[in-house]
Structure 1
């Protein structure tokens, strides 16, 4: 896994910008969306970047997902004009969630033992649509305990649900199983632009970097690399 000196410098600048923003009260709720009002997600201005970062970190931690070492950001990415969109990547080793999803007689734990679920949560992204390019975010990983490594494309939650259903689930029950996992994840992480991918990292200490592009209401946004260290027991 190679990250250029220029990428490291840009990432450090983005992280410093996020962490130096003053703490302010949360922004007021946006006006209700009506039939005549386009659905645009709220954007994070310079004054509430730190609040946005803390909100996403708290969301990850509440789910048992470990945030990466520092945040990332995309410049000139706001849906309604120039602006910074902050984001946080995270990971959680299996088995996860700790409580199996409610489908009697079946183990629907989304992430199995020896797997790692990598996630990417931006703040202020518009909801995905059929026209959204959802294949731009990547995770590069290395398990320094067993020597395994690789890269994987992160996708929207809806696209990876089928792959997270255990193969032993009967064909007749797969739609119900997929709906259970999808509803759980979407209820737990109701944020536009969320990306995730489960990876067979094996057990050990895993180093990972998440980076790439994500669309925000038709605007292509590049998110600088952010790195994390995950212990997969």
Structure 2
């Protein structure tokens, strides 16, 4: 399965390699003390305790197995308090770049075609149960704070995990400026390359978000809402740490 993804991405890289080398990243200024959204994110994360979600047992093993299969490191488990008077266990996780779910680092010939690039973190969230994804997939969010750069934010939006991955890889392919492979064709190539990953995802409820955090150690919390039929589930934060290159 991973071999198929690597072959698909390698074919894209082979075309891109003919067009030149990679662009060097811009130099970063020395970090300043956190202000604004970064300070708000740090304060929020400092005040959240894992015990907010104590007692989650049933159903977390399956969510943990899915995240680990995708090579997304699981966070602390959490609970969703639903308006139909039920509780929904859930689990968040993170994958720092450069990386691609199910495959690992796909940097070939100096060209980075990873869904998650250097300085980015892919967040995943898996609720246990049946959720309604026929409408908007908005509602889940990420708060993060990079302890090395003092940068951070709250309210980073999440979408469906499959949508997030396809959008990210489509962007990488278009950035490689491969002739005749842009727009709808770039998206089709991304969907084909990621098909084994997309096939592994449950049909509903799973969320993803790609955040440019910069390199360093990133404290994170995933929280928010997901629709469950006519009800809405409000999830306590799932907490974790990711170290990006």
- TM-score for the superposition, normalised by structure 2: 0.68
Corresponding residue pairs, total: 189
Change (3 A) 1:83 1:156: same
RMSD of Structure 2 on Structure 1 (CA): 2.7
Deviations 1:125-148, CA, capped at 9 Å, x for gaps: 23511xx23111000111111222
* Contact 2:131–2:226 (8 Å) recurs in 1: no
For residue 88 of structure 1, what is the aligned residue in structure 2?
Answer: 91
The partner residue of 1:113 within 105, 113, 118 is 118
Q: Mind listing any 5+ residue stretches in structure 1 that lack a counterpart? A: 20-48
- Contact 2:45/2:220, CA 8 A, preserved across alignment: no
In structure 1, which of residues 142, 145, 155 is the aligned counterpart of residue 145 of structure 2? 142
Between the aligned partners of 1:108 and 1:164, the Cα distance in structure 2 is: 7
Higher relative contact order (CA 8 A, sep 6+): 2
Please say if residues 116 and 168 of structure 2, whose CA atoms lie closer than 8 Å, have aligned partners that are also in contact.
no
Aligned partners of 2:80 and 2:235 also within 8 Å:
yes
Contact 2:132 2:227 in 1 (8 A): no
The match for 2:190 among 154, 178, 181 is: 178
Is contact 1:123–1:191 with CA below 8 Å preserved after alignment? no
Q: CA deviation at 1:159?
A: 3.6
Determine if the alignment matches structure 1 residue 65 to structure 2 residue 103: no
The Cα shift of 1:95 comes to: 1.9
- Counterpart CA distance in 2 for 1:118 and 1:185 is 15
CA apart distance, 1:158 = 4.5
Counterpart for residue 40 of structure 1: none
| Structure 1 or 2: more helix by fraction | 2
- Which runs of 4 or more aligned residues in structure 1 lie more than 3 Å from their structure 2 counterparts after TM superposition? 2-5
Higher strand share: 2
Shift in Å at residue 87 of structure 1? 0.5
With structure 1 as the length reference, what TM-score do the two structures score?
A: 0.71
The answer to whether structure 1 residue 204 and structure 2 residue 216 are counterparts is yes
Taking structure 1 as reference, are residues 209 and 4 closer, same or farther at Cα in structure 2, changes over 3 Å only? closer
Q: Corresponding residue for 2:61?
A: 54
Q: Deviations over 1:85-104 (max 9, x none)?
A: 11000000112221649xxx
Instruction: Quickly say closer, same or farther: Cα 1:209–1:183, change in 2 above 3 A.
Output: same
Task: Give how far 1:76 is off.
Answer: 3.2
- CA distance in structure 2 between the aligned counterparts of 1:183 and 1:202, rounded to whole angstroms: 28
The alignment partner of 1:74 has SS state of strand
Per-residue CA deviations over 1:6-52 (Å, capped at 9, x if unaligned) read: x857x625x32214xxxxxxxxxxxxxxxxxxxxxxxxxxxxx1xx1
3-state SS in 1 of match to 2:82 = coil
- Pick one of 11, 16, 19 that aligns with 2:54: 16
Could you tell me how far 1:232 is from its partner in structure 2?
1.3
CA gap of 1:89–1:171, structure 2 versus 1, over 3 A, is: same
